[in-house]
């Protein structure tokens, strides 16, 4: 396929334009699209892009709608060539001008989707032109004082065709190109960007197995923006999510058929964060990942209880090249402990539990439910709920015992193995701190015993759902296999029974989910906490022997935090009290030299503290 160059210089003119609300969807069937159209127009949004394409031979649509001040408009889709031309003629008589057009082949028939706006300019709209015809018409129209404002390519019978819109009006200096393969397009993008041009639109088509791109660049000022082309259909949502949580909104989207699948092009603009501030975060994270050999990292940041930033770095699946998204859930290991603590504190708030109640023995929480040998009796019957939360129970850690790994194990199996072990205690209760998973395994069983619900159900009903967390946060399966929501291909952890690890290391979550919980248990009233300020203060108060560990949290007058480190996972949930910044970060392969993530914690905290201005929105 021959490449063509079109260059046109015109007078400079521009207008400023800001988005206040938008909605975008892709992979919609014709019926899905019509429903989307109806819903969004009822909300006062107007169509900006309506892109038709095929995926697996099926007709599909991608669309962008915005709430904006503008002229009256008409939008139609699934038009034949004759229908499209008839609409152009009819609507022109009513004062409407074509502002957007998409051509696409479905079952051997070319269809069109288009948007018309009511304008008084002189314009020309053409479609069904091959490359030579388009070049010829471009030359003639520009000589006649018209400027190209839109062009799209589409494949029909393995031939590239073009639809275009020319308008007789002033405008900025621009470049337009068509027939560029992916590499050539990227080269032109780099060149024009270095000269101060912004990509206005980009469309694609596939001819004989090769993707080709058509684009227009304008020399206009504008906000920070990012453009990507040829995004694989399976990867598009991940890219979209990453842009959204960095403060970008879509300015242009288009889809096209490519060798039996679909690909997408997009332009995103950011009026919420500066390039310099995003670079501060990116540079710090990328440097950490490179130095530590980390392949995938997901980060979310809150300012004053508002989610202001989230981004995922690396790939969700190295085998397929699929990018990681902030919406992937990842294993958090010991960050599960503060989740368990929130459940305990909710029971206290509900009047169902006293922190100083004994756990084992007569009159205790478990009473005679479990049996244990005489050599463990005296120590076990001194343990309180508070001692478990502080890690001052004297218990040694668990998770090496077989029932914690066997898929067929029960909680009773694990409890019996622990309580009958002759090495159960490392210290007498309430004498020294010893960080031990055993404490939080037992606390999870206390939640079940006191509430009458399963541990995960109680946490979901009383912590997650009130915090706005949905099914992206869950306790992992008995066989430890990754779910479809998790990234894969890194440090394997498939043989751990995460159901048995539930209270101390079994949760799987997005960083966003962890922050949703934290902002409801941080003692700040920006978002109402799920426990009282007095209970929060109790939860985050240490003792002389608890070695800086409060009730399920690492806490002092500067922070409320917890980390997780096991089997490839490194995670950190952190609230910096002075700055009002909190973050959650997770990686799922072993860093080269960061045993429990403290280096990662420092890198992230320093980076987000260096940001000059955070957006005022809340992405929760």
Using the predicted structure, report yes or no on whether residue 10 has a pLDDT greater than 70: no
Q: Is the pLDDT of residue 2 over 90?
A: no
Q: What does the chain come to in residues?
A: 620
For residues 160 and 29, give the distance between their C-alpha atoms in angstroms, rounded to a whole number.
24
DSSP state of 395: B
Residue 492: predicted pLDDT: 67
Spell out the alpha helix ranges (H) of 120-220.
Answer: 131-143, 182-194
- Three-class SS of 308-363: EEEEEEEEEECCCCEECCCCCCEECHHHHHHHHHHHHHHHHHCCCCCCCCECCCCC
Mean pLDDT of 64-70: 92
With vertex at residue 334, the alpha carbon angle to CA 386 and CA 473, rounded to the nearest 5 degrees, is 105
Q: What is the mean pLDDT of the chain?
A: 94
| 190 Cβ contact partners less than 8 Å away, ≥ 6 residues apart | none
Residues 315-330: what's their mean pLDDT? 94
Q: Which residues contact 611 (CB under 8 A, 6 or more apart)?
A: 277, 280, 281
- pLDDT tens per residue across span 435-466: 999 999 999 999 999 999 999 999 999 999 99
- Number of helices (H), then strands (E), in the chain: 17, 26
- Beta-carbon contacts of residue 31 (< 8 Å; ≥ 6 apart): none
Residues 144, 43: Cα–Cα separation, whole Å? 41
The answer to whether residues 13 and 184 touch, using CB atoms and an 8 Å cutoff, is no
Task: For residue range 386-398, list pLDDT tens digits in order.
Answer: 999 999 999 999 9
pLDDT digits (tens, 9 = 90+) for 142-181: 999 999 999 999 999 999 999 999 999 888 999 999 999 9
Contact predicate 104/257, CB 8 Å: yes
Measured CA to CA, the distance from residue 22 to residue 11 in angstroms comes to 31
Alpha helices for 391-485 (secondary structure H): 411-419, 437-451, 455-459, 465-467
Q: What is the rounded distance in angstroms from the CA atom of residue 149 to the CA atom of residue 167?
A: 7
Closest of 583, 582, 520 to residue 304, by C-alpha: 582
Burial-class residue 99 by CB neighbours within 10 Å (0-12, 13-18, 19+): buried
For residue 413, the SS3 value is helix
Distance CA 573, CA 58 (A): 44
Confidence at residue 368, expressed as pLDDT on a 0 to 100 scale = 95
Residue-level pLDDT at 490: 83
At 243-299, the pLDDT tens digits run 999 999 999 999 999 998 999 999 999 999 999 999 999 999 999 999 999 999 999
Kindly state the average pLDDT of the residues 57-68. 95
How far apart (Å, rounded) are the C-alpha atoms in residues 544 and 526?
31
Residue 364 phi, psi (nearest 5): -90, 180
Dist CA 405 CA 391 (whole Å): 23
Domain residue limits, the chain: 4-271, 333-474+505-559
Helix axes 437-451, 411-419, angle to 10 degrees: 130
pTM: 0.93
Instruction: Enter the tokens of residue 34.
Output: 């019509």
CA distance 135 to 138: 5
Classify domain 333-474+505-559 at the CATH superfamily level.
Answer: DD-peptidase/beta-lactamase superfamily (3.40.710.10)
How far apart CA 322 and CA 255 sit, in angstroms, is 18
11's CB contacts (< 8 A; 6+ apart) are 170, 171
Helix%, strand%, coil% for the chain, nearest 5 = 30, 35, 40
């Amino acid at each position: 396929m021959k490449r063509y160059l079109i260059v046109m210089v015109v007078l400079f003119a521009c207008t400023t334009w800001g988005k206040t609300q938008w909605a975008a969807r892709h992979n919609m069937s014709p019926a899905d699209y019509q429903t989307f159209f109806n819903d969004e127009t009822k909300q006062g949004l107007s169509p900006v892009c309506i892109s038709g394409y095929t995926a697996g031979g099926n007709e599909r649509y991608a669309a962008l709608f915005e709430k904006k001040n503008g002229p009256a408009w008409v939008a139609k889709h699934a038009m034949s060539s004759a229908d499209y031309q008839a609409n152009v003629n009819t609507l022109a008589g009513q004062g409407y001008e074509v502002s957007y057009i998409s051509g696409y082949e479905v079952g051997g028939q070319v269809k069109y989707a288009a948007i018309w706006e009511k304008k008084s300019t002189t314009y020309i709209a053409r479609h069904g032109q091959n490359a030579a015809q388009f070049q010829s018409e471009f030359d003639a129209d520009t000589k006649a004082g018209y400027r190209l404002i839109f062009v799209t390519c589409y494949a029909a019978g393995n031939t590239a065709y073009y639809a275009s819109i020319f308008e007789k009006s002033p405008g900025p200096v621009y470049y337009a190109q068509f027939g560029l393969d992916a590499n050539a397009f990227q080269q032109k993008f780099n060149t024009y960007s270095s000269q101060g041009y912004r990509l206005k639109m980009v469309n694609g088509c596939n001819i004989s197995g090769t993707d080709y791109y058509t684009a227009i660049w304008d020399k206009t000022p504008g906000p920070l923006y990012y453009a990507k082309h040829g995004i694989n259909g399976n990867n598009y949502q991940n890219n979209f999510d990453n842009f959204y949580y960095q403060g970008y909104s879509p300015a242009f989207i288009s889809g096209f058929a490519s060798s039996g699948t679909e690909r997408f092009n997009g332009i995103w603009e950011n009026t919420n964060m500066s390039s310099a501030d995003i670079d501060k975060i990116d540079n710090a994270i990328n440097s950490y990942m490179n130095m530590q050999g980390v392949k995938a990292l997901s980060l979310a940041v809150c300012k004053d209880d508002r989610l202001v930033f989230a981004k995922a770095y690396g790939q969700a699946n190295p085998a397929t090249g699929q990018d990681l998204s902030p919406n992937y859930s990842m294993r958090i290991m010991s960050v599960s402990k503060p989740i368990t603590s929130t459940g305990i504190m909710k029971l206290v708030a509900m009047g169902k539990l006293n922190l100083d109640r004994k756990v084992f023995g007569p009159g205790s929480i478990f009473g005679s439910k479990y049996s244990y040998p005489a050599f463990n009796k005296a120590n076990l019957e001194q343990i309180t709920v508070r001692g478990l939360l502080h890690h001052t129970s004297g218990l040694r850690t668990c998770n090496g015992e077989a029932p914690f790994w066997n898929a067929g194990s029960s909680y009773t199996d694990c409890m019996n193995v622990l309580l009958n072990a002759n090495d159960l205690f490392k210290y007498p209760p309430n004498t020294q701190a010893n960080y031990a998973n055993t404490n939080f395994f037992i606390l999870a069983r206390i939640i079940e015993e006191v509430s009458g619900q399963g541990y995960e159900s109680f946490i979901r009903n009383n912590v997650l759902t009130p915090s706005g967390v949905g099914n992206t946060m869950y306790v992992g399966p008995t066989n430890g296999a990754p779910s479809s929501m998790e990234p894969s291909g890194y440090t394997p952890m498939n043989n751990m029974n995460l159901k048995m690890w539930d209270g101390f290391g079994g949760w799987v979550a997005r960083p966003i989910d962890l922050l949703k919980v934290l902002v409801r248990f941080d003692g700040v009233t920006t978002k109402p906490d799920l426990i009282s300020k007095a209970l929060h203060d109790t939860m985050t108060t240490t003792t002389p022997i608890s070695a800086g560990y409060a009730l399920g949290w690492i806490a002092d007058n500067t922070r409320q935090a917890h980390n997780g480190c096991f089997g490839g996972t490194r995670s950190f949930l952190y609230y910096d009290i002075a700055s009002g910044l909190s973050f959650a970060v997770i990686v799922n392969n072993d860093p080269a030299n960061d045993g429990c993530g403290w280096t990662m914690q420092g890198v992230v905290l320093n980076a987000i503290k260096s940001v000059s201005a955070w957006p005022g929105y809340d992405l929760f």
